[in-house]
Amino acid sequence: MTSPVTRWLFARCGVFVRGATLHRAALAACHAGEHATAAALFERAARAYRRDLDVCALARLRIHEGIARLRAAGGADAATLAAEVEQLLGRLDEIESPEPPFAPVPARDLLEALPRQAVPAAARAA
């Protein structure tokens, strides 16, 4: 896992860092509750994946980005975001877990865990 200082540097100066490294740093920042840093790292990683034409990695990143937004959202926005994430997850076979150590998991397992893991309790009750 990366340190907060490393994540901060990657978010601002990560031009020469591999997309996968930035992606993992974004997951670590999201897990640590550093939402602004996570958003910047997700965007840097997306640029790197686009540069490398790594479409599969970019798709997984966008799902993680959606989960991060879902965790930070509340109310009606959460239900809409959850539907988007569920739709995207349904298209994948495997994805990195959003929890450390970010090991690959079957996408269907993450999809089944999504309501308990990402949707705020208020949105589940609505």
Residue at 122: amino acid letter:
A
pLDDT values of the chain reduced to their tens digit, one per residue, 126 residues: 577 877 776 666 656 789 999 999 999 999 999 989 999 999 999 999 999 999 999 999 999 999 888 888 766 677 788 888 889 998 999 999 989 899 999 999 888 877 544 444 444 444
Range of the domain at 113: 4-125
**Both tokens of residue 89?**
């997850």
Number of domains in the chain: 1
- DSSP letters for 2-32: --HHHHHHHHHHGGGS-HHHHHHHHHHHHHT
Distances (CA, A) of 53 to 27, 38, 47, 95, 117: 21, 22, 10, 18, 31
What pTM, to 2 d.p., does this model score? Answer: 0.78
Round to the nearest angstrom and report the end-to-end CA distance of the chain: 35
